[in-house]
A and B are shown apart, each in its own frame.
Chain A
Amino acid sequence: MLEYTQKIRDIARKLLEKGTVDVFIGYKKGSVPMMNEPVLIKNPEEVDLLHWDSHCGLNLCNYLTKRTDRVGIVANGCNSRNIVTHIIENQIKREQLYIVGIPCTGIIDHRAVKRAMGNKGILEVTESNDSFTVSGNGFQETFKKKDFLRTNCSTCLHRNPVEYDEMVADAVPEQEGVNPFKDVDVLEKKSPEERRKFFTQLISPCIRCYACRNACPLCYCPTCFVDESRPQWVGKSTDPVDTMTFHFLRAYHCAGRCTDCGACERVCPVGISMRQFTKKLNKDAFELFGWEAGTRMDQRPPLDIYRVDDYNDFVK
């Protein structure tokens, strides 16, 4: 996906020079391997900072909330779905945006790469087409990208943006025969006790830094429920009950809205796979309402609309 970089810069320059947008949001190459930094570009002279590779694992939609200017933004499949969600939730207007579409072939799981390299200090990761090379003092190893994709990317059904103004390249083929809900199927077969144990263990390393919440474009509440202080809703100590309350409530707030972009997992400093919470809700939204968040603008999300043909009897 490296070849997209030049195209992104060209488009951003054109947009800023013509005044089509006031600012452009993209990624800048990071100062550490496998890390890129979201960047706001205001002048055409700065567009050469823009960069794209297989490590753009955050969700830039996070930076759009309540902006009032005209914004150019790069968006792959999941990011574009979050932009759509932002639009239908009135966080930004479609006409403010110029969406530069990225046909995405997946983001590399930086933790899997580090795991594979053990204690060897990674100094550089470079990529070409479908492989990438990890190097450091006295070692160099090349891997196939498909073996190191994040799990949300390896089972992604929307690699191409669903909404865009201009694409940086032709669409890539969508994956077929993948099951994004494989883990959920396993989880659903567990007894309630086993599930409680599973989730308790899952979040046991949590340090309540809220990186997952803050990296999530859905979490834009002016005051999050965990930050409410008058009255206080959730305790702030490391009591496991409070930590569990935070994770479950956060997940439920994402029901029918989550695009499985993986930003929450990408940022967690202790490597918690919190998509285990949201994926079940995504599956329910799909199975009960045929809903995939952020794929259409002509319909309200299932959890903010009433329909007479609802499957529940009690609403009739």
Chain B
Amino acid sequence: MIKKIFAKQDWDKALESLKDKFKVFVPVKEGDFHNFRLLEAGRKPNFDFQNTRLSPKSVILPQSERMFEYTLDESNEDAHVVKEAPKDFAPQVIVGIRPCDAFAFELVRINFDNAEYQDPWWVRRMESTTLVGFGCNEPCASCFCTSVGSGPYSEKGLDALMVDLGDRFLVRSLTSKGEAFLEKIELGAEAADSLFKKALSLPRAAEKKISSRVHMDHLREKVGNELFNAPFWERVSFACINCGTCTYLCPTCWCFDIQDEVSGKEGDRIRNWDACMFPLFTLHGSGHNPRDKKLQRVRQRFMHKLKYYVDRYGHGPACVGCGRCVQFCPVNIDIREVFKLMNGF
């Protein structure tokens, strides 16, 4: 294990120095909030945040990605042949990802990289990505990561972990990828044992600050159909306006739609994020929509996360407790309440 200590300004310089070896994604302050952006000229990392507004899932699964391209130009011998669009799988690193968001990649992996199916782009991008986590000393009031298998210092899915010690960052490797990342940095010094011990005391302190809890111990034993027909969905869904805030901000939501866009004779096949809250999500070509009511859509989102995932894959729900949907649902539909309703039904 490599453990290094950096003065905060040296850490920024270290990241800057890595730009020719990696695509470096860092939290950047944009107006009132932070988001992950590629470190490039004119951009500065800013680690003074609780969590980024959007999770860094778009680094692996872009909101819009050109999958294939084709030409309709008959004079071209490749007319109508769908070819893979060029993609960039150069080594990249996400620096400052919160442990909940890193754990989310592990949950999403179940769908993108399993024995039956491998999404080639998701898999290759994950392979080329190093995740440098950032332990949470001040979790948000809406965080409940410790209830769902993560935690403010959870190491799941991470290659290295940054610890904020006030004026310095202690960064230690957790995997060989993390080690390789740290070896490329010339700045910083070997962390003294005393500092390392100090860092080890922080997780407990952070966990104590998490006041939100959810219970999921009865989810598996519930009968799916009974939960499906539970009377509480009407109340849960009344306020929903069917926007995509919860799904787009959620680090574990990964649904997408595939669209062709043609301009002149050149066409692109694009994969775009989609959301089960949108009526169009399930609209069939026939005009029939199996989920044409918002109750059905809201129910689907929670059943998928808290019941189908649990049943199908034999572990916890598809939720890492980041609390984004709790904070930013425009109408205050609170997944913690839904956990309570479903687990206690």
Contacts and interface: CB of A to CB of B under 8 A. Distances in A.
B326 interface: yes
Nearest to B209: A137
A37 B141 contact: no
Contacts of B209: 137
Interface string A25-52: 0000011110111111000000000000
B296 interface: no
Interface stretch (B49-57, B98-106, B225-233): B49-57
B131 interface: no
B334 A31 contact: yes
Interface in B321-340: 326-328, 330-334, 336-337
A235 B334 CA distance: 31
Contact of B244 (A35, A123, A211): A211
A190 interface: no
A19 interface: no
Contacts of A207: 54, 63, 244, 248
A66 interface: no
A121 B270 CA distance: 39
Contacts of B50: 119, 121
A33 B327 CA distance: 9
B140 interface: yes
B236 to A, nearest CB: 10
B280 interface: yes
Interface residues of B, number: 46
A280 interface: no
Contacts of B278: 210, 227
A38 B238 contact: yes
B283 A229 contact: yes
A292 B333 CA distance: 33
A35 B332 contact: yes
A171 to B, nearest CB: 29
B123 interface: no
B107 interface: no
A31 B283 contact: no
B53 A270 contact: yes
Contacts of A37: 239, 331-333
Contacts of B261: 235, 237
A174 to B, nearest CB: 28
Given A40-B238, A214-B243, A227 B280 contact: yes
A121 B137 CA distance: 12
Interface in B28-55: 30-33, 48-50, 53-54
Contacts of B48: 119
B30 A205 contact: yes
Name B's interface SS.
loop
Interface in B297-345: 326-328, 330-334, 336-337
Contacts of A239: 64
Contact of B332 (A30, A205, A238, A271): A30
B331 A210 contact: no
A259 B53 CA distance: 29
Contacts of B259: 232, 235-237
B249 interface: yes
A39 to B, nearest CB: 7
B175 interface: no
Contacts of B147: none
Contact of B141 (A111, A121, A213, A271): A121
Contacts of A114: 32
B241 to A, nearest CB: 4
A58 B32 contact: no
A208 interface: yes
Contact of A269 (B31, B53, B63): B53
Interface string B267-304: 00010100100111001000000000000000000000
A115 interface: yes
Contacts of B78: none
B32 A32 contact: no
B87 to A, nearest CB: 16
B279 A119 contact: no
Interface in A1-45: 30-33, 35-40
Contacts of A267: 241, 243, 245, 330-331
Interface string B120-164: 000000000000000000101110000000000000000000000
B68 to A, nearest CB: 14
A210 B244 contact: yes
B257 interface: yes
B33 A270 contact: yes
A32 B334 contact: yes
A5 B202 CA distance: 43
13 contacts: A31-B332, A31-B334, A32-B326, A32-B327, A39-B238, A119-B48, A122-B141, A209-B275, A210-B243, A211-B241, A215-B243, A267-B245, A267-B331
Interface of B: 30-33, 48-50, 53-54, 63-64, 138, 140-142, 209, 235, 238-239, 241-245, 248-249, 257, 259, 261, 270, 272, 275, 278-280, 283, 326-328, 330-334, 336-337
The 8 closest A-B pairs by CB, nearest first: A267-B330, A209-B244, A237-B64, A211-B243, A214-B241, A37-B332, A38-B239, A30-B332
Given A37-B331, A269-B248, 16 more contacts: A33-B141, A38-B238, A38-B239, A58-B330, A207-B63, A210-B244, A211-B243, A214-B241, A215-B330, A237-B261, A237-B270, A237-B272, A238-B64, A267-B245, A267-B331, A269-B330
